[in-house]
Amino acid sequence: MSERALRGTRLGATSYETDRGIDLAPRQTVEYACQNGHRFEVPFSVEAEIPVVWECRFCGQEAALLDGEEPEEKKTKPTRTHWDMLMERRTREELEEVLAERLAVLRSGGMNLAIHPRDSRKSA
């Protein structure tokens, strides 16, 4: 192109190519519907794997494929509590033994919880 043809245009902003003579890839349209009753179509390549769910264009909720199978439930791990993790590391007998040791230390006065180390310095 001559310089005159480019005068007054933004380079890169518009394409001067046309779609003439170009064969587009074969496509198929698939219909989805959300729980709010919105129905819409999405074009996919014939070779593409069609997703079972798609985000609704109108409300953003999850839309299901019409005439398709139900989406598989994702396997989730059961919630592990502190107690569950503790029981993975120790047996109940070991925990009873540790508890007895700690109670013996507390009862013997080896660990005085009533007096804080900082407080004992102030009174001295």
94 assigned ligand-binding residue:
no
Q: Cα–Cα–Cα angle for 115, 119, 124, nearest 5°?
A: 110
Q: Is 106 annotated as a binding residue?
A: no
CB atoms within 10 A of CB 37: 8
> CA 85, 90, 91, 96 torsion: positive or negative?
negative
What distance in Å separates the CA atoms of residue 46 and residue 29, rounded to the nearest whole number?
A: 9
Does 34 count as an annotated binding residue? yes
Q: With CA atoms as reference, report the closest residue to 50 among 34, 71, 36.
A: 71
Residue showing tokens 């494929």 = 65
Residues of each annotated binding site for Zn(2+): 34, 38, 56, 59
Residues of each annotated binding site: 34, 38, 56, 59
